[in-house]
Amino acid sequence: MWSSLAVSGDMYVRRDDGRLFYRGTRPGPGWQAHGTFRRRLRILIEGVLKEVEVEKQRWLERKTGRTCHSRPPDDLPWLHFCSLVIALKLWGWLNGGRGVYNAPEVVDDLHGEVSERTLQRWLARGQRYATEIEQAIRLTVIEKREPRTVETLFPGGLSPPEALTCRSWRDPPAVEHLWRALAFLMGGTLQLSVPPALLLAEARGRWEETKDNRGP
């Protein structure tokens, strides 16, 4: 259950030396494979935090000389933790009702691995896209829930706990959107028996596709 995408899915290829390779998708017909790009990423393997080296495919556009690389859906450009770790840490804080300094851990091995200031920065970044994050995860869960309605997933409704709503936030609506996004993720994981890393990856793909369709 608490394993990152490198374990839960088949998007990565494990090299003989232990590195994880992600090929991704060719950007277009005028692009060709052009080496790889590496970075360190901290992921969960059966509830244990591990640091791995991720090797991402680089691409070269022959006509212009431009390059880019394929980014795995659990790899965020501003973090050294995978998206599952971020989601679990934020859920422990927002749903725990004990504040950021005493937030309970969903996964014990994450205790002490992320400072309170870092967690606050993650929340601030997440609030910028809170509505989009909630919509992407919600639609992912609904699609997998069909033909049953999503109401059967949360028969008592989906209201944030009082300990969350009574606190003073800079942007209360955005915090509630993030809480609902994570509630959909956790509820979908338990009710659908789908690893949360896979739900997050599908939601990320849905979000990216929506952005692409909007155009510049």
Give the pLDDT score at 216: 38
In a domain, 49, yes or no: yes
Q: Pseudo-torsion of CA 104, 105, 110, 116, nearest 10°?
A: -30
In a domain, 75, yes or no: no
11-25 pLDDT, tens digit per residue, is 999 999 889 999 999
Name the residue range of residue 147's domain.
83-214
Q: What is the average pLDDT across 96-105?
A: 93
131 and 172 belong to one structural domain: yes
Total tally of structural domains belonging to the chain: 2
23 and 118 belong to one structural domain: no
37-89 pLDDT, tens digit per residue, is 999 999 999 999 999 999 999 999 999 999 999 999 999 987 899 999 999 99
95 and 39 belong to one structural domain: no
In a domain, 131, yes or no: yes
Q: Which token pair is 125?
A: 């970044």
Q: Pseudo-torsion of CA 141, 93, 127, 171, nearest 10°?
A: 120
109 and 198 belong to one structural domain: yes
Given 41, 69, 97, which residue is the final one in a domain? 69
149 and 104 belong to one structural domain: yes
Nearest 5°: the CA angle 142, 147, 152 is: 65
Given 43, 69, 95, which residue is the final one in a domain? 69
Give the pLDDT score at 215: 39
33 and 88 belong to one structural domain: no
Q: What is the average pLDDT across 105-111?
A: 95
pTM for this structure? 0.91
Q: Is the pLDDT of residue 167 over 60?
A: yes
41 and 124 belong to one structural domain: no
132 and 206 belong to one structural domain: yes
Distance from chain centroid for Cα 78: 13
Q: Judging by DSSP bridges, how do beta strands 13-14 and 20-22 pair with one another?
A: antiparallel
106 and 30 belong to one structural domain: no
Give the pLDDT score at 211: 62
Share of the chain above pLDDT 70, in %: 96
Sign of the torsion angle spanned by Cα atoms 191, 194, 195, 197: negative
